[in-house]
Homo-oligomer: A and B are copies of this chain.
């Protein structure tokens, strides 16, 4: 039985219109910008529309072979603007340009990131059917020049009442932290600051309080001791977080032995909290899996994927800006069916659907 057969058996169906959004659909933010990807997106229903808040990554085309150019964000008169940095490779023999996503110092694994090759911002797409999306033609949310000067990445949207909580990775030379923005209409956005200190990404906030508290999954990346594991944290007010508990760690071997992260905000089902998460192996091959958690106690795992729910197989998942990646930041659950929106190969936005019945079967529960 090959992987493809297995995925078919799981009952997950990729949308025949995949990719739903791709680099060609994106109007660059500036004349000299090149769109490198539109991928990891938060998903929500707003009024009668599906909305995706998409990560758009842009670069600046370099004019000479020895040059690398990339944008950052600066500020003047309280207004953010893009600025281009140019580095002559030959003048910086200590820098490494091997990873498509980063420029690092030090080659032997003890490397530190000194620049990102692309700058990401957030851009809104709207749809009546959840498949055909119209994308804003400029940044919907522009990074600020402080904790976001290297970009805003991987947004998630959690709706609670009429407020949409948008958490995202705020990247700057000080690290990759998780910050929060709220909106009620996807037109006016309010910044709420940093929720989780660097290095912490892949935050997924629950869509309601459980008991007295808001809950969020998060994924710290410690430098010394520990691996990139999922933690579960609580908050009385969505701003201040505590009660941190280690939730689930990377495995010794297999598809989850590199890193594991929050994925999409959990969905409430009659059997408990359903959570689609991502895991990567040590070769940076990213797959999706599912957790089912106790409805009253999200620390308690009722079931978990033994094999990937979705793995990179299609050309648009295997090849791209950073290949071998399926990565979700948002699902929409309607009428027994889960739409999983996912970034493919850090390049395009795709969708796959699976019925709750099939997920339960995949999880070995009925």
| Contacts A235-B240, A242-B240, A243-B239; A225 near B173 (Cβ below 8 A) | yes
| Contact residues of A between 244 and 273, Cβ < 8 Å to B | 244-246, 249
Assess whether A244 is in contact with B194, with CB atoms less than 8 Å apart: yes
- Write the nearest CB–CB distance from A152 to chain B, whole angstroms: 14
| Contacts A240-B234, A240-B243, A242-B239; A199 near B173 (Cβ below 8 A) | no
Q: How far is the CA of A111 from the CA of B110 in the complex (A)?
A: 8
Number of copies: 2
Indicate if A106 sits at the interface (CB-CB under 8 A): yes
- Write the nearest CB–CB distance from A179 to chain B, whole angstroms: 9
Closest to A108 in B: B108
Assess whether B108 is in contact with A246, with CB atoms less than 8 Å apart: no
Assess whether A226 is in contact with B198, with CB atoms less than 8 Å apart: yes
Assess whether B243 is in contact with A176, with CB atoms less than 8 Å apart: no
Assess whether A199 is in contact with B222, with CB atoms less than 8 Å apart: yes
Partner of A196, one of B174, B197, B224, B246: B197
Closest to A219 in B: B197
Chain B residues, CB < 8 A from A69: none
Assess whether B176 is in contact with A244, with CB atoms less than 8 Å apart: no
Chain B residues, CB < 8 A from A106: 109
Indicate if A223 sits at the interface (CB-CB under 8 A): yes
Partner of A225, one of B199, B233, B242, B249: B199
Assess whether A242 is in contact with B243, with CB atoms less than 8 Å apart: no
Chain B residues, CB < 8 A from A225: 112-113, 150, 171-176, 198-199
Assess whether B176 is in contact with A222, with CB atoms less than 8 Å apart: yes
Partner of A233, one of B109, B197, B236: B197
| Contacts A240-B234, A241-B242, A244-B193; A199 near B223 (Cβ below 8 A) | yes
- Write the nearest CB–CB distance from A191 to chain B, whole angstroms: 12
Closest to A176 in B: B225
Indicate if A220 sits at the interface (CB-CB under 8 A): yes
Chain B residues, CB < 8 A from A177: 244
| Contacts A110-B109, A150-B225; A220 near B240 (Cβ below 8 A) | no
| Contact residues of A between 192 and 242, Cβ < 8 Å to B | 193-200, 218, 220-227, 229, 231, 233-237, 239-242
Closest to A198 in B: B222
Q: How far is the CA of A150 from the CA of B226 in the complex (A)?
A: 12
CB<8 Å pairs between A and B, sample of 29 = A106-B109, A109-B110, A112-B227, A113-B225, A147-B246, A173-B226, A174-B225, A174-B249, A175-B224, A175-B225, A175-B226, A176-B222, A194-B242, A194-B243, A195-B242, A195-B244, A198-B220, A198-B225, A199-B220, A199-B223, A199-B224, A199-B226, A234-B240, A236-B240, A239-B242, A239-B243, A240-B240, A240-B243, A241-B242
Of all A-B residue pairs in the complex, the 3 with the closest CB atoms, nearest first, are A109-B110, A175-B226, A199-B222
Other A-B contacts than A176-B222, A197-B218, A236-B236, 11 sampled, CB-CB below 8 A, are A113-B224, A150-B225, A173-B225, A194-B245, A195-B242, A196-B197, A196-B244, A197-B244, A199-B224, A221-B222, A241-B242
Chain A residues with a Cβ under 8 A of chain B: 106, 108-113, 147, 150, 171-177, 193-200, 218, 220-227, 229, 231, 233-237, 239-246, 249
